[in-house]
Structure 1
Amino acid sequence: MRSLLYIFIAAITLTSCKDTPIIIKDSAGRMNDILLVIDNDLWEGEVGDTLRNVLAAPVDGLVREEPQFTLNQIKPESFKGLIKKNRNYLKVELSNKKAGVNMTNSLYANPQTGVVIRGATSAGIVEQIMGNAARIKELYNQTEVAEKQRLMRNSRLNTSVIKERFNIEITVPRTYRYAAPDDNDFFWLRRGIKEGTMDIMIYEVPRNAIPQDSNVVASITKVRDSVGSRKVTVDKGAFVTERAYSPYVNESNVNGKFAYETKGLWEVTEQFMSGPFLNYAIYNEKKDNWLIIEGYIFAPSAKQRNYLFELEAILKSVNFVEEK
């Protein structure tokens, strides 16, 4: 009995170098917020400018500039107590110790992502930030996507019909509804929001519809314009890719499956309607075709970063399952 008690205590506590038990509790913090633990002098100088340029860079695909992350700065001596429970924090240390970037997972709370950047000079810290910028941003993004997906699983839509048709599992909140129930090859999910709508489309196209060559941007645009103009109902005109802005296309993966990630703007011809979209063309080797899953927003008067982030979390939840 005593050994079981010891195991239980060990499972719920961590021990610091001073043998002080640290109880791991739930983290806190708004979605896509990062707490910056940094001296005021560094924050107001080139180190702070570099952190803002990296972490608060504008989100691709939005008409109006909105930062990927919201940054909140505090001095190192204030980083204690409940403040240590922030889900995301980045700490900057000016020190003669070995320069580098250290990433921690759930050190003071759970879940939690912490990054500590150390350098002997401001220039050395800037060098560490720039050399690890992509890795740091991806780490925070993965943390936030996972947390958003966890929250969505608590109130999810029944997607069994999507699973039966495409052999995929996907986490969609119950705030969405099926808008094309009679179409077995095209699923259109819609969510009404205060400022407009958020929609998701799911369909398949043959492998040769998107050749993996230098014209992939044009191929993806052609596919989405062909399907969108036929399947998305509008009063007048057609739902197509905005011609004035070239979409961003990057190679990516969704739960281990190769995918093209496309960000851009859509428009309805003959109407003053447009907004951002996020599209994943996921290669399904079993069917030798592309699963296309796209989210788009119509909310011209609203800030759209968090809406686009919700769509990203939904689309990245796609997981292929075995056919019956």
Structure 2
Amino acid sequence: MKKLGILLVILSFLISCESGKNQRVLVAANGRINNLLVVMKNSEWQGEIGDELRKFIAEPVLGLPQPEAQFEVSQVPIENYGSMFKSSRSILNIGIADKNSFTIGTDVYAAPQKIITITGKSKEDLIEMIQKNSSKIVSEFKDSDLRAVRMKILKKYWEPSTMETFKQQGFSLKIPQEYSKVEDNGEFVWYRYHLFGGNSMELMCYTIPITSDDDVNGNNIVANRDAFGKKNIPGQIEDSYMITEEAYTPHVFEVELDGKKAFETRGKWEVKGVYMAGPFLSYTVVDKANNRLVVVEGLTYAPSINKRDYMFELEAILKTLKIN
């Protein structure tokens, strides 16, 4: 009986080895979100090819009070591209080769990881390939980072079905449990994450009836936002409330969220009559089936410090929106 037990242990070990023979075990990717490793020759990085890359990878993020590049960029030459660098989260390989190509790799050396490789037969071809794929490069790295952020911060989130507003209004958002409730009254949801020194990140969700084509076409976003702030987000003194900063025109883009037409708005908020302001990001989703706009918004109050990564986290949360 003892021999049989030993035999079964050996057999199960051999089977597990056989079944795992083709499985790859990847190390955890290193590097923070919005950090990009560029692998290319020093001479090309310092020349026209590098200049072309910097036009978009170092472009400032829209809607922030102070200029912040959308990526923190590090560059290494090909000969120094060793195992430590290969486990980076986001890698952009650039070089002259025997063909023009653009390829995307996922979880090649580590996880989560995105590697984009661009080659050209000449300097001119390479610059053309970079120009042609600039939007794709940014979106691939950003989407990969958004997924990584969601995996990290949404391990524990408040169950949407327990929130009164979500139950009554028929939509939901996954809000991390690190955020605490400020308001949930059936009409709107407001959650807050406390940062250091009295700073904070805020999440708000509400709906607005569609009353005109201007609502559907995104022409009333600022007016609707200011009306909501006046009614629901009071300031510290009498007759003060949150508005869209009057001196700054928000950037509005038509996008798709939860399979529906939506408007992404990036701008600055302020409190009327009080010296208090910061960046906001909102998505206004056209829910024609229910004749309404569903609005989800994130904003940050963190004077004198960089806010790009805070706003990026809020974006990751806002994009979990689901409309019943």
TM-score of the two chains, using structure 1 as the length reference: 0.89
From 54, 57, 61, give the equivalent of 1:55: 57
SS in 2 for 1:61: coil
Shift of 1:49: 1.6
SS in 1 for 2:52: helix
Deviates more, 1:289-298 or 1:47-56: 47-56
- Tell me the equivalent position of 2:21: 9
Distance across 1 between alignment mates of 2:78 and 2:211:
55
Number of aligned residue pairs: 306
SS in 2 for 1:312: helix
SS in 2 for 1:286: helix
- Tell me the equivalent position of 1:283: 286
Distance across 2 between alignment mates of 1:153 and 1:84:
27
AA partner of residue 122 (structure 1): K
Shift of 1:115: 0.5
Distance across 2 between alignment mates of 1:26 and 1:64:
32
SS in 1 for 2:136: helix
Trace 1:154-169 onto structure 2 (pairs within 5 A).
154-159=155-160, 160-161=162-163, 162-169=165-172
Where structure 2 has 5 or more consecutive residues not aligned to the other structure, the ranges are: 1-11
Shift of 1:9: 2.2
Distance across 1 between alignment mates of 2:300 and 2:53:
29
CA contact (8 A) 1:31 1:144 kept: yes
Distance across 2 between alignment mates of 1:134 and 1:163:
35
- Tell me the equivalent position of 1:73: 75
Shift of 1:3: 7.6
List per-residue Cα deviations over 1:72-128 (Å, max 9, x = no partner): 111112222132111110001111x22131111112122211100101232322211
TM-score of the two chains, using structure 2 as the length reference: 0.89
From 37, 40, 48, give the equivalent of 2:39: 37
SS in 1 for 2:156: coil
Using the aligned pairs only, state the percent identity. Answer: 28
- Tell me the equivalent position of 1:17: none
- Tell me the equivalent position of 1:176: 179
CA contact (8 A) 1:152 1:171 kept: no
AA partner of residue 61 (structure 1): G
What is the aligned-residue RMSD (CA, Å)?
A: 1.9
Distance 1:72 1:207, change over 3 A: same
Which structure is larger by alpha-carbon Rg, 1 or 2?
2
Trace 1:209-248 onto structure 2 (pairs within 5 A).
210-213=214-217, 216-217=218-219, 219-236=220-237, 237-248=240-251
AA partner of residue 234 (structure 1): G
Deviates more, 1:254-263 or 1:137-146: 254-263
Trace 1:240-259 onto structure 2 (pairs within 5 A).
240-259=243-262
